[in-house]
Amino acid sequence: MTRIDDTPPAWDERTQLTTFLDYARDTARAKCDGVSADDARTSLLPGSPLMTVSGLINHLRWVEYYWFQVVFLGEEDQGPWTEEDPDREMRVAVDFPLARLLDEYAEQSARYRELVAGRALDERARRAVRGDLRVDLRWILLHLTEETARHNGHLDILREMLDGATGS
């Protein structure tokens, strides 16, 4: 796992942004260590039936896809969601082994790491997010770090409820 507690005294902005995102990604994957196939698909929160370990990992994967490929690069949206089922990526996750979802998330993260390395942080997204607001790559990295860290909290709760595991 990427560590952030032994950082050098001065990192450039890109290194800080990408290191924190990688740390959040690695933490999400670490929270899945030892989760059984059944537990990965188990929903424990009556008010959030889609909130499963598998659903959260698949959601993180597709959130990155959306922000990097659809918003930043301006590609056509090929995500699993629909207007009728906007959270479909979380619903369909239970149809796949957690190991596969984790592998796909790791492979995609590596591709996006390369994408980010070759672009300026000030480069604007090709697609507007609201009205004519086009965010820059820096904003996308910050947003994805926040999104991933927030869902790591959900993974903490699910994990403790499923098998008592805490930490990571």
Q: State pLDDT tens for residues 27-47.
A: 999 999 999 999 999 998 888
CA distance 108 to 103: 8
Tally the residues of the chain: 168
Nearest to 56, CA basis, from 21, 105, 18: 105
Q: What is the mean pLDDT of residues 161-165?
A: 90
167 pLDDT band, cuts 50/70/90, is confident
Q: Where are the alpha helices (DSSP H) in the chain?
A: 13-30, 37-40, 53-65, 88-92, 98-117, 137-163
Alpha carbons 70 and 123: distance in angstroms, whole number: 15
Q: What is the pTM of this model?
A: 0.93
Q: In the CATH scheme, what is the code of domain 33-163?
A: 1.20.120.450
Domain ranges of the chain: 33-163
Give the pLDDT band of residue 166 (cuts 50, 70, 90): confident
Task: Flag the least confident range among 8-12, 22-26, 107-111, 123-127.
Answer: 8-12
